[in-house]
Each structure stands twice: as structure tokens, then as C-alpha cells.
């Protein structure tokens, strides 16, 4: 029985050691945060009576002015250009020739008929570049133009010609006379007008026109005046 007593003695000091331990300090509970009180609504201000909106006078809408581009500075010197001067149109001179009513009627009929004439082109000129458009009578045995097939073109006939009374006359009613030198102007009648040849130079052409002006003779192709480019 002696060993049991020793155990009791050993257990006793262990209990005393536990009793000597101080209890841990308890954590103080934090006070709960106060809830935010709702703000009191501000007292409503007395509303002032609204004034009626008066209709505003509408301003007239002005049209937008086009924006003017700045003008380039004008220079006295003309810019360099390679363009050739163009001849001015020849002034249309009224004829001084007294024509009877029948001649005037025939000239007008010739003008209207000429506008409706077909083109008399050489056969196959539209196929071969070496063939010009100038008219040649078709002579081939199998030529469709000679046989007057409608799709192959028109054949020259006497019925397309102008009236015999005005045939060969200028549109103004004058008879044309070809001139190459100033001496040829002599002997021209009032019913005739001169046409200067294409091979005549400018110097001689001025002399011919000067001689024709002295004799009051009409020139059908006067010297061109060129405009500046």
C-alpha cells in the first residue's frame, strides 16, 4: 500500500501548480457603432409662380455667302505656252449682189438637199487603209456596189446634183474666179468673186486683197487674222 501514497503526493503538487496559474484577462467587448440617424428633410421653400415664356421673334435666316478664293497676283508677263495661235472666225459679209427670187429659192433648195446627201465613198475604203475615201466608180464584175446593193452604199447619180441654174455658184450667189497674182484681179465683173490660190504667199496675198478692195471686188478667202494665246 505504500506506493499508492506516493502517487497521491505527486499528484497534489501538480494540482497546486495549475491552481497557481492566473486566469487570462478577458477581452473587453467593443461597443457596437451607432447607426447613422437619417437627416431631417429641409423645409420646402415656397415656390414662386413661373412667368409664361414669351414667344421670341425669329431672326431672318441669311443665305450663306460663297467663300471667295484668293485671286492670283496678275503679272504683266504672259506664261510660256507651246500652244499654236488659232485663226479667228472670218466675218460673215452680207452679199451686195442683187439676186432674183428664183435664184434665191434655188440656192436655198440646194442647201437643204445637200444636208441630206449620202456619203459617196470609194468601195472598201473602210477596210483597206491604202484606199482613200475619194469617190471611184466601181468597175468590178462582182461588185456589190455596182449592183446597187442597199447595204453597200450609194452610187453617184445625176439626180443628186444641184439645179442647173445655180450649179457651180458660191452660197452667196457669186461666180468664183481663181486668182494667183494681183494682175488677175483686172477684168472681174460685179457678179464674180475671187478666190486666192492656196500656193500664194502672204506678201502677194496682201497685194491681191489691196487691189480687190480698190475695185470693190469680193474676196471669198481673205487673209486669216490670228488671236493671241
pLDDT (0 to 100) of residue 217: 92
With 80 as the cut, is the pLDDT of residue 3 above it? no
pLDDT at 7 over 90: no
Residue 136 has pLDDT above 60, yes or no: yes
pLDDT for 25 equals: 59
Q: Where are the alpha helices (DSSP H) in the chain?
A: 2-20, 101-115, 202-214
Q: What is the pLDDT of residues 138-148, one digit of tens each?
A: 999 999 999 99
Q: Flag whether pLDDT at 75 surpasses 60.
A: no
The three grid cell numbers given for residue 33, joined into one nine-digit string: 457603432
Position 150 pLDDT exceeds 70:
yes
In degrees, rounded to 5, the angle at the alpha carbon of residue 133 between the alpha carbons of residues 131 and 138 is: 75
pLDDT of residue 228: 46
Q: What is the mean predicted confidence (pLDDT) over 99-104? A: 91
DSSP for residue 52: P
| Beta carbons within 10 angstroms of residue 19's beta carbon | 7
- Cα–Cα dist 174/221, whole Å: 13
User: CB of 160 within 8 A of CB of 117?
Assistant: yes
pLDDT band for position 77 (cuts 50, 70, 90):
confident
- pLDDT higher for 99 or 3? 99
Q: What is the pTM of this model?
A: 0.52
Q: Beta-carbon neighbour count of residue 194 at 10 Å?
A: 23
Amino acid at each position: 500500500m505504500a506506493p499508492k501514497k506516493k502517487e497521491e503526493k505527486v499528484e497534489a503538487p501538480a494540482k497546486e501548480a495549475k491552481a497557481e496559474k492566473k486566469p487570462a484577462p478577458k477581452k473587453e467587448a467593443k461597443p457596437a457603432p451607432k447607426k447613422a440617424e437619417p437627416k431631417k428633410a429641409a423645409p420646402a421653400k415656397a415656390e414662386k409662380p413661373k412667368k409664361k415664356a414669351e414667344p421670341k421673334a425669329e431672326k431672318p435666316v441669311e443665305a450663306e455667302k460663297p467663300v471667295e478664293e484668293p485671286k492670283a497676283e496678275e503679272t504683266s508677263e504672259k506664261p510660256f505656252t507651246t500652244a499654236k495661235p488659232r485663226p479667228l472666225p472670218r466675218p460673215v459679209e452680207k452679199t451686195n449682189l442683187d439676186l432674183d427670187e428664183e435664184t434665191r429659192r434655188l440656192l436655198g433648195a440646194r442647201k437643204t438637199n445637200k444636208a441630206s446627201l449620202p456619203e459617196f465613198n470609194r468601195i472598201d475604203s473602210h477596210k483597206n487603209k491604202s484606199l482613200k475615201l475619194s469617190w471611184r466608180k466601181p468597175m468590178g464584175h462582182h461588185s456589190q456596189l455596182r449592183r446597187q446593193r442597199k447595204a453597200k452604199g450609194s452610187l453617184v447619180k445625176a439626180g443628186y446634183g444641184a439645179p442647173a441654174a445655180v450649179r457651180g455658184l458660191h452660197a452667196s450667189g457669186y461666180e468664183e474666179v481663181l486668182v494667183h497674182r494681183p494682175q488677175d484681179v483686172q477684168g472681174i465683173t460685179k457678179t464674180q468673186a475671187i478666190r486666192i490660190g492656196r500656193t500664194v504667199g502672204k506678201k502677194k496675198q496682201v497685194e491681191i486683197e489691196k487691189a480687190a478692195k480698190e475695185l470693190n471686188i469680193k474676196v471669198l478667202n481673205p487673209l486669216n487674222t490670228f488671236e493671241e494665246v
